[in-house]
Amino acid sequence: MLAFYLPAYLLMNPTDRIVWGQYSHLLKGTLPYPHLLMSRGSVQSKPTKLEYGQSQLAFEETPDPHFRLQLIDQTFQAELLFHPQKPLANIDEDGKLNKLRYHSLPRNQVLGQIEQGGMTETVTGEGWFDHQWGRDYGLLQGMGWDWFGLQLDDGRDVLISRLHSPDSDSPQAPIAKLIEKNGTVITSENVILKPLKYWSSIYTKIKYPIEWQITLPDFSIELHIVPQINNQEIPIIGPLQAIWEGSCTIIGEQRYSEGHRKPLKGKGFIELVGYAE
């Protein structure tokens, strides 16, 4: 992927010194810190399995649908079993947003073990699983996005996405998907995203909007999104330099036509891409 992506990007952006520096590392057979080289991947279907060396994601064809995630490196090992709690949600079957088809399992019961430093810990929790596939050349053009995957305590889930381009001061209109407890998906383009707080990385100098107020008038929902920690930046090889992707807490309210309101709480995930200058 990098062998195609970086040369193509540099042909379009020959003055990007940061990417030229990264590309020179790759030509010498090394990787810029802190990146590590993953093992060559393989994919199979029926049952679906994705492998990178000893790490793998495998869907198991059983009457009780579930999938297994196994992560193994030199110092760490995790094995997690995901049990979907809702039917598969069709988020974008035709790829209208960014030419990628999009399915989601937004709420999964997770059980497993983590091993590190000779110690083994049993863990439980809830997970979110997305699957996007297709061809998208937006990264070559510097396209970025804001993505929110929100699990509300009342059993509903909210998925919000918005694209933004480097040659435009205004991002595209956001789209929200409300996934009901029974798996029904309701779409709204009436979405108001307001950043409340920014955080700047001391490493990349990138400034990210990490705290948000989200208003969804069609669903009568207002949410306040707060990151669990500020520094959830992940370095990336290429012009993106890094993305901010991490966990958040949610407080808000559901408003009813009679005038009363119900408090909402939850947890979720934020992905902020394309904020490098």
pLDDT the model gives residue 197: 98
Q: What distance in Å separates the CA atoms of residue 222 and residue 231, rounded to the nearest whole number?
A: 25
Question: Over the chain, what is the mean pLDDT?
Answer: 89
Report the chain's terminal Cα–Cα distance, integer Å: 23
Q: Structure tokens of 22?
A: 């990264």
The 10s digit of each residue's pLDDT in 49-96 is 999 888 999 998 777 889 999 999 888 999 999 999 999 999 988 877
pLDDT the model gives residue 141: 61
Query: pLDDT category, 31, cuts 50, 70, 90?
Result: confident
Letter string b/e over residues 161-178, b meaning 16 or more CB atoms within 10 A of that residue's CB:
bbbbeeeeeeeeebbbbb
Between residues 141 and 248, the one the model is more confident about: 248
Q: Counting Cβ atoms within 10 Å, is residue 152 exposed (0-12), middle (13-18) or buried (19+)?
A: buried
C-alpha of 248 from chain center: 12
- 121, 157 Cβ separation under 8 angstroms: no
Between residues 98 and 70, the one the model is more confident about: 70
The DSSP string of 203-243 is TT--EEEEEEEEEEGGGTEEEEEEESSS--EEE-SSTT-EE
Lookup result for tokens 């059980």: 111
Which residues, in sequence order, are CB contacts of 265 under 8 Å at separation 6+? 152, 153, 249, 250, 251, 252
In this structure, the number of other CB atoms found within 10 A of the CB of residue 16 comes to 15
* Residue 19 Rama label (left phi>0; alpha psi -120 to 50; beta): alpha
pLDDT the model gives residue 3: 59
Between residues 271 and 276, the one the model is more confident about: 271
* Structural domains of the chain in order of their starting residue, each with its CATH number: 38-136 (2.40.370.10), 138-277 (2.40.370.10)
Query: pLDDT category, 139, cuts 50, 70, 90?
Result: low
Q: What distance in Å separates the CA atoms of residue 106 and residue 103, rounded to the nearest whole number?
A: 9
> Is the per-residue pLDDT at 140 higher than 60?
no
